[in-house]
Amino acid sequence: MVKASLPFPGVWRAPGALLPERRKAMDLREGFEELEAIADLMVAQTRLADRLEAIADALPRSSPEECRVLARELPSTLALLHSVEERCLLTPLAGRLPQGSPFKATLERMRCEHLEDVDAATELADALLRFSEAKGGVGSDTLAYQLRSLFVALRRHHALDLEVLLPEARARFTPADRARLEAALRLEACGRGPSGRTAFTG
């Protein structure tokens, strides 16, 4: 089985100390072990939202170092998480839907949200860096708005993952889909997936 090992801090908790979000995600993949790594990815996204909220709450006295660290990690981390979700869930699930299914529009909306979130993350990373270096041009109110807009969007997307995407994947994926999912996750583990970065370790 593939185990997630994500490329930024603040995600992992000790065994037995699972976050409520991951418990729910793991419940949804009961009997479907291939979804365990995907559940970890979903928790990683909500933990990222928590870090954004912590910086927003601390303004205007947010740690410059934490702002710099998050500015470096944010765009590439989100792009990685979204790439794996699209390859491992959205694309194969779309292939299992009947012609004319209204759920295809939901999947396309989730893809569009990925693009919008990465764009917002890129702009926010620049603002965080400027704020941390006291270069001016980025006030606390403006930065707080950018931070809150993104973490709210990430949590909304995470809720859709848990309440809609995972149950649909569990219901519709065939044994062949599960085998392809396992193979895709192992490619990512070796850094040979489309993301071009290692998202998992086997």
Cα 8 versus chain centre, distance? 12
CATH number at residue 89: 1.20.120
Q: How far apart are CA 200 and CA 7, in angstroms?
A: 9
pLDDT at 75: 92
State the helix-helix crossing angle for 140-160 and 36-58, rounded to 10 degrees: 160
Tell me, what's the pLDDT at 178? 80
Q: Could you tell me the residue range of the domain that residue 29 belongs to?
A: 3-201
Per DSSP, the residues of 69-125 read HHHHHHHHHHHHHHHHHIIIIIHHHHHHSPTT-THHHHHHHHHHHHHHHHHHHHHHH
Which pTM does this prediction carry?
0.75
Number of H helices, E strands in the chain: 8, 2
Domain count, the chain: 1
Mean pLDDT, contiguous 10-residue spans, the chain (202 residues)? 38 35 47 67 86 95 93 91 87 89 92 94 95 81 95 93 87 82 69 43 28
By the 10 Å C-beta count (0-12 exposed, 13-18 middle, 19+ buried), 105 is classed as exposed
Q: Is 112 exposed, middle or buried (0-12, 13-18, 19+ CB in 10 A)?
A: exposed
